[in-house]
A and B are shown apart, each in its own frame.
Chain A
Amino acid sequence: MSSTEQSKTKLNQTPTTQRMSWIHKGELTLIERLSANILKAGPMPKHVAFIMDGNRRYARKLHVERQQGHTQGFDKLAETLRWCLNLEIREVTVYAFSIENFKRAKDEVDGLMELARQKFSRLLDEQEDLEKHGVCIRVLGDLTLLPLDIQKLIAQAVLATKHHNKCFLNVCFAYTSRHEITNAVKEAAWGVEQGLIKPSDVSEFLLDECLYTNNSPDPDLLIRTSGEVRLSDFLLWQTTYSCLVFQSILWPEYSFWNLCEAILQYQLNHQALQKARDQHAEARVLQQLEADRCCAADLLQQTGLGKPVDPQLRQEALQKYTAEREERVHSFLTALQEKRDRFFTDLNKGFIASAKA
């Protein structure tokens, strides 16, 4: 049997209930477990990002409907999550739907929205399972671009799993990195408008916290399937020091061994990337110190009377300024988090109200 026929047979054999589930049932085989243990002897990525490319090409290859390709893609996601759990990779981010994808043919977009509806509804059915595994689901993107009923389903799913903390799944839906960065700058500007922060408080750290991914560490490893070697507007800010692995396999055909191969690449790059990351962090601290020093000196000049300032006074002014800046930033970030939580709770209230009606 050719590999295409094998895949088709497998497609027809997988039971429907398993096909719909977010968490794949099944354990690793002995060989897989042994390989996993060998890999775990080295540094393991704590956060892996996937660009799940190749669903449509897979459907074309098997001569089935595109929609089936996407459904298979979702099943593969469930399987991959299971592998990540087995490999103790606690956080996974996936690129499910780009804002650019809205430009695709209407029936394909509608099909994807319908798939999203089914999956997020299914999620609510599987709450017990998710609680058992401690899975926290976050959906990142400009959710206001989605149909309202999907927004409400997402809000329910996010709120239901909010307090789980064993592992994290971030689904990028209606997302592009440029929109995310623009949104982060907008939030900072909102902070300035509200009088919570000053323009000079805006730093790399602040923008980090304004992104949709503020509750996650940067990905250690980014994997893109189907052979394309682009980032396609995915986590551009967050992956500056991530290990990028481009694999030519199509997403629905992804295997445990492909994942191991990617992790091996990560392990080979680990030291160099760690070094680069540390250098960047040091440079960032120095930049912030320098910026604080300038601001504190400006303030002193304004309040001083043109007299030369002694180092002791300068140092005190610097410490005071830094403490005040950190205080401002902290209250701004608290306000931002409240604003974001309110978005979901408002949607949820609307959902419950319409359900009762």
Chain B
Amino acid sequence: MAVVYEFVWRMLHALLHLQRTLLSWNWRLWRRAMTAVLVPTVFGFQNHPHNNKKLIPTGGKKSCCRVLWKSDGKSLEKLPLHIGLLIAEEETRYTDIANLVVWCMAVGISYVSVYDNQGIFRRNSSRLMDEILKQQQELLGLDSLKYSVEFLNNSNDKPEQQVLSCQATVKVLSPDDGKTGIVTAAQKFCQLVEQQQKRSSDLDVNMLDSMLRGTKGMPDPDLVMKFGTVDSTLGFLPWHIRLTEIM
């Protein structure tokens, strides 16, 4: 009897895997169009007459795209302040991520975090930064001067560019910023206790929160967009995603 159950189980999973594979093929074929639509529709809390399928950035339509993005952003009732991009895919596609970051900026999101489970983006953060700047030029053209991107590195707290209007902050994260960050904060507090500068009972949620937020003080992510087939946060900033919507 167990053999029968196992056989049925295998059939069921084969079907589900097939369904997933077909969907992902479809996805790859219409990737450009789909992602171009997906970004405004994910943000869109109301129907918008300009929310058309023509948001694929091609030559002559660039200027009207930018105008559309700006008006898309303004027409939304509520924009997330901080968006997290959780990349759970096998391949790392720098250009696509850079595109996403630039779109977020164009729509008016102030903070964008990029995270992957293996810390690949963290290790190659300068490559990602270059890619973002390149895409910013390509997609936003003349307007790109108005958008300044501040890249946050954990090592230096100084902003890399001056603050101008429409400023966005991009941070690249890895699992080291999650649980390891909490452990480091815990060690620091314990050192203060050892030196008798604090008592263990002095610690409360707000104190730990400010220790984890650090000097830059980015707000908690309002929205995390997950890319890939894995249904998990994979270690993305456990402390900060208390009230974050996960899609």
Interface 0/1 of A27-62, CB less than 8 Å to B: 000000000011111100000000000000000000
| Given A42-B13, A243-B232, CB of A199 within 8 Å of CB of B190 | yes
A39 contacts which of B9, B16, B242 (Cβ < 8 Å)? B9
Contact status A186-B200, CB under 8 Å: yes
B44 in contact (CB, < 8 A): no
A287-B186 Cα distance, complex, nearest whole Å = 16
Q: Of the 9-residue stretches B33-41, B135-143, B175-183, which lies at the interface with chain A?
A: B175-183
Chain A residues whose C-beta falls within 8 Å of the C-beta of B198 in the assembled complex: 189
Interface residues on A, range: 35 or more
Contact status A233-B200, CB under 8 Å: no
In the complex, which residue of chain B has the Cβ closest to the Cβ of A185? B186
Contact status A193-B199, CB under 8 Å: yes
A176-B205 Cα distance, complex, nearest whole Å = 10
A41 contacts which of B6, B191, B247 (Cβ < 8 Å)? B6
Q: Give the A-B contact count at a CB cut-off of 8 A.
A: 153
In the complex, which residue of chain B has the Cβ closest to the Cβ of A34? B5
B26 in contact (CB, < 8 A): no
State how many residues of chain B have any CB contact under 8 Å with chain A: 54
Contact status A240-B178, CB under 8 Å: yes
The residue in B10, B16, B203, B242 that gathers the most chain A C-beta atoms within 10 A of its C-beta is B242
Chain A residues whose C-beta falls within 8 Å of the C-beta of B242 in the assembled complex: 176-178, 231-233, 236
| Given A38-B12, A178-B209, A245-B231, CB of A207 within 8 Å of CB of B183 | yes
Near A by CB (< 8 A), chain B positions 140-196 give: 175, 178-180, 182-183, 185-187, 189-191, 193-194
Contact status A241-B234, CB under 8 Å: yes
CB distance from A66 to the nearest CB of B (A): 23
A207 contacts which of B13, B182, B203 (Cβ < 8 Å)? B182
Contact status A40-B241, CB under 8 Å: no
Contact status B13-A243, CB under 8 Å: no
A268 in contact (CB, < 8 A): yes
CB distance from B161 to the nearest CB of A (A): 33
In the complex, which residue of chain B has the Cβ closest to the Cβ of A183? B203
In the complex, which residue of chain A has the Cβ closest to the Cβ of B209? A178
A243 contacts which of B186, B231, B236 (Cβ < 8 Å)? B231
A37-B7 Cα distance, complex, nearest whole Å = 11
Contact status A276-B117, CB under 8 Å: yes
Chain A residues whose C-beta falls within 8 Å of the C-beta of B238 in the assembled complex: 177, 236-237, 239-240
Contact status A192-B5, CB under 8 Å: no
Contact status A189-B175, CB under 8 Å: no
Chain A residues whose C-beta falls within 8 Å of the C-beta of B16 in the assembled complex: 264, 268
A185-B181 Cα distance, complex, nearest whole Å = 13
Contact status A41-B230, CB under 8 Å: no
Contact status A192-B200, CB under 8 Å: yes
Contact status A192-B190, CB under 8 Å: yes
6 shortest interchain CB distances as A-B pairs: A189-B200, A199-B190, A41-B9, A41-B6, A236-B238, A240-B235
**Residues of A at under 8 Å CB distance from B?**
37-42, 176-179, 181-182, 184-190, 192-193, 198-200, 202-204, 207, 229-233, 236-237, 239-246, 264-265, 267-269, 272-273, 276, 279-280, 283, 287
A-B contact pairs, 26 of them (CB 8 A): A38-B12, A41-B5, A178-B205, A178-B239, A181-B182, A182-B205, A185-B185, A186-B201, A186-B203, A189-B190, A189-B193, A200-B187, A203-B183, A204-B179, A204-B183, A230-B245, A230-B246, A232-B242, A236-B238, A237-B179, A237-B182, A240-B236, A244-B246, A267-B13, A268-B20, A276-B234
Given contacts A193-B200, A265-B231, 18 further A-B contacts (CB under 8 A): A37-B5, A38-B12, A39-B9, A41-B10, A42-B13, A177-B242, A190-B200, A192-B190, A203-B183, A204-B179, A230-B246, A236-B242, A240-B235, A241-B235, A245-B231, A267-B13, A276-B117, A276-B232
